[in-house]
Amino acid sequence: MQTNFAPEQLRDPAMASSETILRTCVHCGFCTATCPTYLLLGDELDSPRGRIYLIKEMLERGKPATPEIVKHIDRCLSCLACMTTCPSGVHYMHLVDHARAYIEATHRRPWHDRVMRTLLAKVLPYPGRFRLAMSAAILGRPFAGLLGALPRVGNRLRAMLALAPARLPARSPAARPGVWPVQEPRRGRVAILSGCAQPVLNPNFNEAAIRLLNRHGVEVVLPKGEGCCGALVHHLGRERESHAFARQNIDAWMAEIEGEGLDAIVITASGCGTTVKDYGFMFRNDPAYAEKARRVSELAKDITEYLASVGLIEPVRETDLVVAYHSACSMQHGQQIREEPKKLLRQAGFSVKDVPEGHICCGSAGTYNLLQPEIAGQLRARKVANIERVKPDLIAAGNIGCMTQIASGTAIPIVHTVELLDWATGGPLPEALRQAGFGEPRGTGQHSPDMDGSA
Protein backbone atom coordinates (compact mmCIF):
# COMPACT_ATOMS: atom_id res chain seq x y z
CA MET A 1 0.00 0.00 0.00
CA GLN A 2 1.36 3.42 -0.93
CA THR A 3 1.50 5.90 1.94
CA ASN A 4 1.90 9.69 2.08
CA PHE A 5 3.13 10.57 5.56
CA ALA A 6 5.04 13.79 6.07
CA PRO A 7 8.66 13.41 7.27
CA GLU A 8 7.83 15.13 10.57
CA GLN A 9 5.04 12.61 11.18
CA LEU A 10 7.46 9.71 10.78
CA ARG A 11 9.70 11.08 13.51
CA ASP A 12 7.10 9.69 15.89
CA PRO A 13 8.13 6.03 16.47
CA ALA A 14 4.50 4.87 16.73
CA MET A 15 3.61 6.58 13.44
CA ALA A 16 6.70 5.17 11.74
CA SER A 17 5.80 1.66 12.89
CA SER A 18 2.24 2.00 11.60
CA GLU A 19 3.46 3.36 8.28
CA THR A 20 5.65 0.26 7.86
CA ILE A 21 2.69 -1.99 8.61
CA LEU A 22 0.44 -0.12 6.19
CA ARG A 23 2.98 -0.52 3.38
CA THR A 24 2.93 -4.32 3.76
CA CYS A 25 -0.78 -4.54 2.90
CA VAL A 26 -1.36 -5.51 -0.75
CA HIS A 27 -5.19 -5.18 -0.71
CA CYS A 28 -5.63 -8.91 -1.47
CA GLY A 29 -8.74 -9.27 0.69
CA PHE A 30 -7.91 -12.71 2.14
CA CYS A 31 -8.62 -11.20 5.57
CA THR A 32 -12.28 -10.57 4.77
CA ALA A 33 -13.03 -14.31 4.70
CA THR A 34 -12.14 -14.77 8.37
CA CYS A 35 -13.24 -11.43 9.86
CA PRO A 36 -16.23 -11.98 12.18
CA THR A 37 -17.72 -8.51 11.73
CA TYR A 38 -17.46 -8.67 7.94
CA LEU A 39 -19.13 -12.10 7.96
CA LEU A 40 -22.00 -10.70 10.02
CA LEU A 41 -22.38 -7.20 8.61
CA GLY A 42 -21.08 -7.53 5.05
CA ASP A 43 -19.62 -4.01 5.13
CA GLU A 44 -16.14 -3.57 3.65
CA LEU A 45 -15.40 -0.93 6.31
CA ASP A 46 -16.04 -3.61 8.94
CA SER A 47 -13.31 -5.82 7.49
CA PRO A 48 -9.57 -5.59 8.24
CA ARG A 49 -8.87 -4.27 4.75
CA GLY A 50 -11.51 -1.57 5.14
CA ARG A 51 -10.27 -0.60 8.58
CA ILE A 52 -6.71 -0.40 7.29
CA TYR A 53 -7.85 2.17 4.71
CA LEU A 54 -9.65 4.14 7.44
CA ILE A 55 -6.61 4.04 9.74
CA LYS A 56 -4.32 5.12 6.90
CA GLU A 57 -6.57 8.08 6.12
CA MET A 58 -6.87 9.06 9.79
CA LEU A 59 -3.14 8.89 10.53
CA GLU A 60 -1.98 10.53 7.31
CA ARG A 61 -4.31 13.50 7.80
CA GLY A 62 -3.11 13.93 11.36
CA LYS A 63 -6.52 15.23 12.36
CA PRO A 64 -8.99 14.07 15.02
CA ALA A 65 -10.75 10.81 14.24
CA THR A 66 -14.20 11.18 12.75
CA PRO A 67 -17.27 9.45 14.26
CA GLU A 68 -17.46 7.21 11.17
CA ILE A 69 -13.90 5.98 11.59
CA VAL A 70 -14.41 5.48 15.34
CA LYS A 71 -17.55 3.41 14.70
CA HIS A 72 -15.77 0.91 12.48
CA ILE A 73 -12.61 0.68 14.60
CA ASP A 74 -14.76 0.14 17.70
CA ARG A 75 -16.49 -2.75 15.95
CA CYS A 76 -13.16 -4.57 15.54
CA LEU A 77 -12.84 -7.43 18.04
CA SER A 78 -9.04 -7.59 17.80
CA CYS A 79 -9.53 -11.33 17.31
CA LEU A 80 -6.51 -11.26 14.96
CA ALA A 81 -7.93 -13.95 12.65
CA CYS A 82 -6.85 -11.62 9.85
CA MET A 83 -3.21 -11.97 10.91
CA THR A 84 -3.43 -15.76 10.67
CA THR A 85 -4.95 -15.47 7.19
CA CYS A 86 -2.82 -12.64 5.77
CA PRO A 87 -0.23 -13.90 3.23
CA SER A 88 1.71 -10.62 3.42
CA GLY A 89 2.33 -10.65 7.18
CA VAL A 90 0.47 -7.41 7.97
CA HIS A 91 0.79 -6.90 11.75
CA TYR A 92 -2.77 -5.70 12.18
CA MET A 93 -2.62 -5.96 15.99
CA HIS A 94 0.00 -3.23 16.35
CA LEU A 95 -1.77 -1.09 13.76
CA VAL A 96 -5.21 -1.21 15.40
CA ASP A 97 -3.66 -0.71 18.86
CA HIS A 98 -2.05 2.51 17.60
CA ALA A 99 -5.33 3.56 15.97
CA ARG A 100 -7.20 3.11 19.25
CA ALA A 101 -4.63 5.15 21.16
CA TYR A 102 -4.85 7.86 18.48
CA ILE A 103 -8.65 7.88 18.72
CA GLU A 104 -8.50 8.13 22.50
CA ALA A 105 -6.14 11.12 22.21
CA THR A 106 -7.98 13.02 19.46
CA HIS A 107 -11.69 12.12 19.55
CA ARG A 108 -14.30 13.21 22.08
CA ARG A 109 -16.89 10.48 22.41
CA PRO A 110 -20.55 11.04 23.36
CA TRP A 111 -21.05 11.33 27.12
CA HIS A 112 -22.63 7.89 27.55
CA ASP A 113 -19.76 6.21 25.73
CA ARG A 114 -17.19 8.09 27.83
CA VAL A 115 -18.96 7.11 31.05
CA MET A 116 -19.15 3.42 30.13
CA ARG A 117 -15.56 3.13 28.96
CA THR A 118 -14.24 5.02 31.99
CA LEU A 119 -16.27 2.78 34.28
CA LEU A 120 -14.77 -0.34 32.71
CA ALA A 121 -11.24 1.09 32.86
CA LYS A 122 -11.53 2.07 36.52
CA VAL A 123 -13.19 -1.14 37.72
CA LEU A 124 -12.22 -4.24 35.74
CA PRO A 125 -8.41 -4.11 36.21
CA TYR A 126 -8.75 -3.84 40.01
CA PRO A 127 -9.87 -7.09 41.71
CA GLY A 128 -11.24 -5.34 44.81
CA ARG A 129 -13.34 -2.90 42.81
CA PHE A 130 -14.41 -5.61 40.40
CA ARG A 131 -15.60 -7.85 43.24
CA LEU A 132 -17.73 -4.99 44.58
CA ALA A 133 -19.12 -4.34 41.09
CA MET A 134 -20.01 -8.01 40.65
CA SER A 135 -21.75 -8.05 44.04
CA ALA A 136 -23.77 -5.03 42.94
CA ALA A 137 -24.57 -6.72 39.61
CA ILE A 138 -25.88 -9.81 41.39
CA LEU A 139 -28.19 -7.59 43.47
CA GLY A 140 -29.20 -5.66 40.35
CA ARG A 141 -30.19 -8.66 38.25
CA PRO A 142 -33.91 -8.48 39.18
CA PHE A 143 -33.91 -4.95 37.74
CA ALA A 144 -32.31 -5.91 34.40
CA GLY A 145 -35.46 -5.10 32.45
CA LEU A 146 -35.76 -1.65 33.98
CA LEU A 147 -32.07 -0.82 33.57
CA GLY A 148 -32.06 -2.22 30.05
CA ALA A 149 -34.74 0.28 29.04
CA LEU A 150 -32.57 3.27 29.92
CA PRO A 151 -31.67 5.37 26.87
CA ARG A 152 -28.13 5.24 25.47
CA VAL A 153 -26.68 2.89 28.12
CA GLY A 154 -29.45 0.34 28.64
CA ASN A 155 -28.20 -2.33 26.23
CA ARG A 156 -24.75 -2.26 27.79
CA LEU A 157 -26.04 -2.39 31.35
CA ARG A 158 -28.24 -5.34 30.41
CA ALA A 159 -25.22 -7.10 28.91
CA MET A 160 -23.19 -6.53 32.07
CA LEU A 161 -25.93 -7.96 34.27
CA ALA A 162 -26.40 -10.97 31.98
CA LEU A 163 -22.70 -11.87 32.21
CA ALA A 164 -22.48 -11.47 35.99
CA PRO A 165 -22.29 -14.79 37.88
CA ALA A 166 -25.12 -16.00 40.10
CA ARG A 167 -22.70 -15.93 43.02
CA LEU A 168 -19.07 -15.05 43.63
CA PRO A 169 -16.52 -17.63 44.77
CA ALA A 170 -14.60 -16.99 47.97
CA ARG A 171 -11.28 -15.17 47.81
CA SER A 172 -8.46 -17.55 47.07
CA PRO A 173 -5.02 -17.75 48.71
CA ALA A 174 -3.74 -18.39 45.18
CA ALA A 175 -4.54 -14.75 44.36
CA ARG A 176 -2.17 -13.45 47.05
CA PRO A 177 1.63 -13.19 46.83
CA GLY A 178 3.29 -16.40 47.92
CA VAL A 179 5.49 -19.34 47.04
CA TRP A 180 4.31 -22.90 46.44
CA PRO A 181 7.45 -25.02 46.81
CA VAL A 182 8.07 -28.63 45.78
CA GLN A 183 10.19 -31.49 47.07
CA GLU A 184 13.60 -31.92 45.51
CA PRO A 185 14.58 -32.52 42.84
CA ARG A 186 12.98 -29.33 41.59
CA ARG A 187 12.43 -29.34 37.83
CA GLY A 188 11.73 -25.64 37.44
CA ARG A 189 10.61 -22.39 39.00
CA VAL A 190 7.91 -20.19 37.45
CA ALA A 191 5.88 -17.09 38.26
CA ILE A 192 2.13 -17.22 37.69
CA LEU A 193 0.05 -14.24 36.64
CA SER A 194 -2.88 -13.71 39.01
CA GLY A 195 -4.53 -11.09 36.81
CA CYS A 196 -7.58 -8.98 37.60
CA ALA A 197 -10.99 -10.36 36.57
CA GLN A 198 -10.10 -14.05 36.65
CA PRO A 199 -9.30 -14.37 40.40
CA VAL A 200 -12.67 -12.76 41.15
CA LEU A 201 -14.77 -14.80 38.69
CA ASN A 202 -12.97 -18.13 38.97
CA PRO A 203 -9.86 -18.55 41.15
CA ASN A 204 -10.05 -22.32 40.53
CA PHE A 205 -8.05 -21.90 37.33
CA ASN A 206 -4.86 -20.73 39.01
CA GLU A 207 -5.37 -23.10 41.94
CA ALA A 208 -5.50 -25.98 39.44
CA ALA A 209 -2.43 -24.63 37.64
CA ILE A 210 -0.43 -24.44 40.88
CA ARG A 211 -1.36 -27.99 41.89
CA LEU A 212 -0.55 -29.28 38.41
CA LEU A 213 2.79 -27.51 38.23
CA ASN A 214 3.77 -28.65 41.73
CA ARG A 215 2.84 -32.21 40.75
CA HIS A 216 5.33 -31.87 37.89
CA GLY A 217 8.08 -30.71 40.23
CA VAL A 218 7.78 -27.02 39.37
CA GLU A 219 7.90 -24.39 42.11
CA VAL A 220 5.40 -21.57 41.67
CA VAL A 221 5.68 -17.99 42.89
CA LEU A 222 3.16 -15.18 42.76
CA PRO A 223 5.37 -12.09 43.20
CA LYS A 224 4.50 -9.07 45.29
CA GLY A 225 3.41 -6.07 43.21
CA GLU A 226 2.04 -8.06 40.28
CA GLY A 227 -1.42 -7.16 38.96
CA CYS A 228 -3.47 -6.59 35.81
CA CYS A 229 -1.52 -7.21 32.60
CA GLY A 230 -2.94 -4.00 31.08
CA ALA A 231 -4.84 -5.68 28.21
CA LEU A 232 -8.26 -4.33 29.14
CA VAL A 233 -7.26 -0.67 29.09
CA HIS A 234 -4.80 -1.23 26.24
CA HIS A 235 -7.66 -2.25 23.94
CA LEU A 236 -9.63 0.78 25.08
CA GLY A 237 -6.82 2.97 23.71
CA ARG A 238 -5.74 4.10 27.19
CA GLU A 239 -2.04 3.70 26.53
CA ARG A 240 -0.74 5.53 29.58
CA GLU A 241 -2.73 3.31 31.93
CA SER A 242 -1.85 0.07 30.13
CA HIS A 243 1.85 0.91 30.23
CA ALA A 244 1.63 1.70 33.94
CA PHE A 245 0.16 -1.76 34.61
CA ALA A 246 2.82 -3.35 32.43
CA ARG A 247 5.68 -1.56 34.20
CA GLN A 248 4.33 -2.72 37.55
CA ASN A 249 4.40 -6.34 36.38
CA ILE A 250 7.79 -6.03 34.74
CA ASP A 251 9.26 -4.70 37.99
CA ALA A 252 7.65 -7.53 40.00
CA TRP A 253 8.86 -10.26 37.64
CA MET A 254 12.34 -8.79 37.21
CA ALA A 255 12.80 -8.91 40.99
CA GLU A 256 12.22 -12.68 40.77
CA ILE A 257 14.30 -13.12 37.62
CA GLU A 258 17.26 -11.38 39.22
CA GLY A 259 16.62 -13.06 42.57
CA GLU A 260 16.03 -16.82 42.64
CA GLY A 261 15.40 -16.88 38.89
CA LEU A 262 12.45 -17.90 36.71
CA ASP A 263 12.18 -20.47 33.96
CA ALA A 264 8.90 -19.00 32.73
CA ILE A 265 6.08 -16.61 33.51
CA VAL A 266 3.04 -18.86 33.28
CA ILE A 267 -0.32 -17.39 32.27
CA THR A 268 -3.71 -19.11 32.46
CA ALA A 269 -5.69 -16.45 30.55
CA SER A 270 -4.67 -16.37 26.90
CA GLY A 271 -5.86 -12.78 26.47
CA CYS A 272 -3.34 -11.72 29.09
CA GLY A 273 -0.68 -13.91 27.52
CA THR A 274 -0.92 -12.16 24.16
CA THR A 275 -0.42 -8.79 25.84
CA VAL A 276 2.47 -9.84 28.10
CA LYS A 277 4.24 -11.39 25.12
CA ASP A 278 3.93 -7.97 23.45
CA TYR A 279 5.57 -6.02 26.29
CA GLY A 280 8.84 -6.06 24.36
CA PHE A 281 7.21 -4.19 21.49
CA MET A 282 5.28 -1.85 23.77
CA PHE A 283 8.47 -0.66 25.47
CA ARG A 284 10.84 -0.90 22.50
CA ASN A 285 11.59 2.83 22.67
CA ASP A 286 11.75 3.14 26.46
CA PRO A 287 15.42 3.18 27.52
CA ALA A 288 14.55 2.25 31.11
CA TYR A 289 12.29 -0.70 30.25
CA ALA A 290 13.13 -1.94 26.74
CA GLU A 291 15.53 -4.69 27.80
CA LYS A 292 13.53 -5.72 30.87
CA ALA A 293 10.31 -5.88 28.84
CA ARG A 294 12.05 -7.99 26.19
CA ARG A 295 13.21 -10.48 28.83
CA VAL A 296 9.74 -10.70 30.35
CA SER A 297 8.08 -11.25 26.96
CA GLU A 298 10.51 -14.05 26.15
CA LEU A 299 9.69 -15.81 29.42
CA ALA A 300 5.90 -15.49 29.07
CA LYS A 301 4.22 -18.83 28.34
CA ASP A 302 0.64 -20.02 28.25
CA ILE A 303 0.14 -22.79 30.82
CA THR A 304 -0.38 -25.39 28.06
CA GLU A 305 2.66 -24.13 26.17
CA TYR A 306 4.82 -24.57 29.27
CA LEU A 307 3.36 -27.97 30.19
CA ALA A 308 3.97 -29.23 26.67
CA SER A 309 7.67 -28.37 27.11
CA VAL A 310 7.83 -30.08 30.52
CA GLY A 311 5.89 -33.17 29.49
CA LEU A 312 2.62 -34.27 31.09
CA ILE A 313 2.84 -37.01 33.72
CA GLU A 314 0.72 -40.14 33.33
CA PRO A 315 -2.96 -39.65 34.21
CA VAL A 316 -4.28 -41.45 37.28
CA ARG A 317 -7.93 -41.40 36.18
CA GLU A 318 -9.61 -43.05 33.23
CA THR A 319 -12.27 -41.09 31.40
CA ASP A 320 -14.25 -41.45 28.21
CA LEU A 321 -15.54 -37.86 28.25
CA VAL A 322 -15.85 -36.06 24.93
CA VAL A 323 -14.40 -32.55 25.04
CA ALA A 324 -15.12 -29.80 22.52
CA TYR A 325 -11.99 -27.66 22.56
CA HIS A 326 -12.61 -23.95 22.03
CA SER A 327 -9.40 -22.18 21.07
CA ALA A 328 -9.56 -18.54 22.14
CA CYS A 329 -8.62 -16.04 19.44
CA SER A 330 -5.82 -14.75 21.65
CA MET A 331 -4.51 -18.33 21.82
CA GLN A 332 -4.69 -19.46 18.21
CA HIS A 333 -4.26 -16.11 16.42
CA GLY A 334 -2.51 -13.94 19.00
CA GLN A 335 -0.01 -16.52 20.27
CA GLN A 336 -0.20 -19.08 17.44
CA ILE A 337 -0.79 -21.89 19.97
CA ARG A 338 -3.09 -24.43 18.35
CA GLU A 339 -2.14 -28.05 18.92
CA GLU A 340 -0.54 -28.10 22.38
CA PRO A 341 -3.78 -27.85 24.43
CA LYS A 342 -5.49 -30.56 22.39
CA LYS A 343 -2.48 -32.88 22.57
CA LEU A 344 -2.31 -32.48 26.35
CA LEU A 345 -6.02 -33.22 26.73
CA ARG A 346 -5.65 -36.36 24.62
CA GLN A 347 -2.63 -37.45 26.65
CA ALA A 348 -4.77 -36.99 29.76
CA GLY A 349 -7.33 -39.44 28.34
CA PHE A 350 -10.03 -37.17 26.92
CA SER A 351 -11.61 -37.53 23.48
CA VAL A 352 -11.10 -34.13 21.87
CA LYS A 353 -13.24 -32.69 19.10
CA ASP A 354 -12.56 -29.56 17.07
CA VAL A 355 -15.36 -27.00 16.85
CA PRO A 356 -16.63 -26.10 13.35
CA GLU A 357 -15.64 -22.54 12.41
CA GLY A 358 -13.20 -22.68 15.30
CA HIS A 359 -11.29 -19.72 13.90
CA ILE A 360 -14.27 -17.37 14.34
CA CYS A 361 -14.48 -15.34 17.56
CA CYS A 362 -17.09 -16.11 20.25
CA GLY A 363 -17.72 -12.37 20.73
CA SER A 364 -16.12 -11.93 24.15
CA ALA A 365 -12.92 -10.07 23.13
CA GLY A 366 -12.11 -8.39 26.44
CA THR A 367 -14.73 -5.71 26.97
CA TYR A 368 -16.26 -6.11 23.50
CA ASN A 369 -19.31 -8.05 24.71
CA LEU A 370 -20.06 -5.14 27.07
CA LEU A 371 -19.48 -2.34 24.56
CA GLN A 372 -20.88 -4.04 21.43
CA PRO A 373 -23.45 -6.44 22.95
CA GLU A 374 -25.56 -6.92 19.81
CA ILE A 375 -22.68 -8.10 17.59
CA ALA A 376 -21.22 -10.09 20.48
CA GLY A 377 -24.56 -11.82 21.00
CA GLN A 378 -24.74 -12.90 17.36
CA LEU A 379 -21.22 -14.29 17.52
CA ARG A 380 -21.97 -16.15 20.76
CA ALA A 381 -25.05 -17.76 19.20
CA ARG A 382 -22.99 -18.83 16.18
CA LYS A 383 -20.22 -20.23 18.40
CA VAL A 384 -22.61 -22.11 20.70
CA ALA A 385 -24.46 -23.64 17.72
CA ASN A 386 -21.16 -24.92 16.32
CA ILE A 387 -20.10 -26.34 19.69
CA GLU A 388 -23.42 -28.11 20.24
CA ARG A 389 -23.17 -29.58 16.76
CA VAL A 390 -20.32 -31.90 17.87
CA LYS A 391 -22.39 -33.13 20.88
CA PRO A 392 -19.66 -32.94 23.54
CA ASP A 393 -19.95 -33.84 27.22
CA LEU A 394 -18.13 -30.63 28.10
CA ILE A 395 -16.22 -27.69 26.64
CA ALA A 396 -12.58 -26.86 27.36
CA ALA A 397 -11.03 -23.42 26.85
CA GLY A 398 -8.08 -21.40 28.07
CA ASN A 399 -9.45 -17.88 28.51
CA ILE A 400 -11.82 -16.57 31.19
CA GLY A 401 -13.52 -14.12 28.82
CA CYS A 402 -14.45 -16.81 26.31
CA MET A 403 -15.61 -19.12 29.06
CA THR A 404 -17.92 -16.50 30.58
CA GLN A 405 -19.29 -15.59 27.15
CA ILE A 406 -19.95 -19.15 25.99
CA ALA A 407 -21.35 -20.30 29.34
CA SER A 408 -24.04 -17.61 29.10
CA GLY A 409 -25.37 -19.26 25.94
CA THR A 410 -25.33 -23.01 26.62
CA ALA A 411 -26.04 -25.57 29.32
CA ILE A 412 -22.97 -27.63 28.39
CA PRO A 413 -20.43 -27.22 31.23
CA ILE A 414 -17.29 -25.30 30.29
CA VAL A 415 -14.01 -25.98 32.07
CA HIS A 416 -10.52 -24.51 31.83
CA THR A 417 -8.08 -26.83 30.09
CA VAL A 418 -5.77 -26.75 33.11
CA GLU A 419 -8.59 -27.91 35.40
CA LEU A 420 -9.06 -31.03 33.27
CA LEU A 421 -5.32 -31.74 33.22
CA ASP A 422 -5.17 -31.25 36.99
CA TRP A 423 -8.14 -33.57 37.52
CA ALA A 424 -6.75 -36.29 35.26
CA THR A 425 -3.41 -36.30 37.09
CA GLY A 426 -4.79 -36.35 40.63
CA GLY A 427 -6.57 -33.08 41.36
CA PRO A 428 -10.18 -32.53 42.41
CA LEU A 429 -13.22 -32.70 40.14
CA PRO A 430 -13.63 -29.29 38.45
CA GLU A 431 -16.41 -27.25 40.05
CA ALA A 432 -18.28 -26.75 36.78
CA LEU A 433 -18.45 -30.53 36.30
CA ARG A 434 -19.51 -31.12 39.89
CA GLN A 435 -22.35 -28.64 39.48
CA ALA A 436 -23.36 -30.38 36.26
CA GLY A 437 -23.65 -33.71 38.09
CA PHE A 438 -20.51 -35.42 36.84
CA GLY A 439 -19.04 -38.08 39.13
CA GLU A 440 -15.49 -39.27 39.58
CA PRO A 441 -14.32 -41.77 36.93
CA ARG A 442 -12.33 -44.90 37.72
CA GLY A 443 -8.83 -44.42 39.09
CA THR A 444 -7.02 -43.33 42.20
CA GLY A 445 -6.48 -39.80 43.38
CA GLN A 446 -3.30 -38.14 44.52
CA HIS A 447 -2.57 -35.80 47.36
CA SER A 448 -2.34 -32.24 46.05
CA PRO A 449 -0.60 -29.32 47.74
CA ASP A 450 -2.92 -26.83 49.42
CA MET A 451 -3.21 -23.26 48.28
CA ASP A 452 -1.49 -21.64 51.24
CA GLY A 453 1.68 -20.46 49.59
CA SER A 454 4.49 -19.52 51.94
CA ALA A 455 5.96 -16.12 51.24
> Pick the residue with more confidence: 443 or 86?
86
Q: What angle do CA 233, 161, 75 make, to 5 degrees?
A: 45
Any idea which of 28-42, 112-126, 157-171 has the lowest mean pLDDT? 157-171
Task: Please give the Cα distance from 269 to 195 (Å, whole number).
Answer: 8
Mean of pLDDT values over 168-186: 91
Q: What is the pLDDT of residue 122?
A: 96
Task: Please give the Cα distance from 81 to 92 (Å, whole number).
Answer: 10
Q: pLDDT grade, residue 165 (50/70/90)?
A: confident
Whether 151 shows a pLDDT value over 90: the answer reads no
Residue-wise pLDDT for 314-336, tens only, equals: 999 988 899 999 999 999 999 99
| Residue 443 DSSP code | B
Q: What is the pLDDT of residue 445?
A: 45
In 3D space, the residue among 364, 301, 360 whose CA is nearest the CA of residue 327 turns out to be: 360
Residue-wise pLDDT for 278-291, tens only, equals: 999 999 999 999 99
Task: Please give the Cα distance from 419 to 392 (Å, whole number).
Answer: 17
Whether 384 shows a pLDDT value over 90: the answer reads yes
Residue-wise pLDDT for 419-436, tens only, equals: 999 999 999 999 999 999
Residue-wise pLDDT for 386-413, tens only, equals: 999 999 999 999 999 999 999 999 999 9
**3-state secondary structure at position 159:** helix
Alpha-carbon torsion (89, 365, 199, 410), positive or negative: negative
Mean of pLDDT values over 230-252: 97
Q: What is the pLDDT of residue 454?
A: 52
Helices (H), 390-438: 400-407, 417-424, 431-435
DSSP string, 280-316: HHHTTT-TTTHHHHHHHHHHEEEHHHHHHHH-PPPPS
Task: Please give the Cα distance from 295 to 316 (Å, whole number).
Answer: 37
Whether 444 shows a pLDDT value over 50: the answer reads no
Q: What is the pLDDT of residue 144?
A: 80
Whether 147 shows a pLDDT value over 90: the answer reads no
Q: What is the pLDDT of residue 447?
A: 43
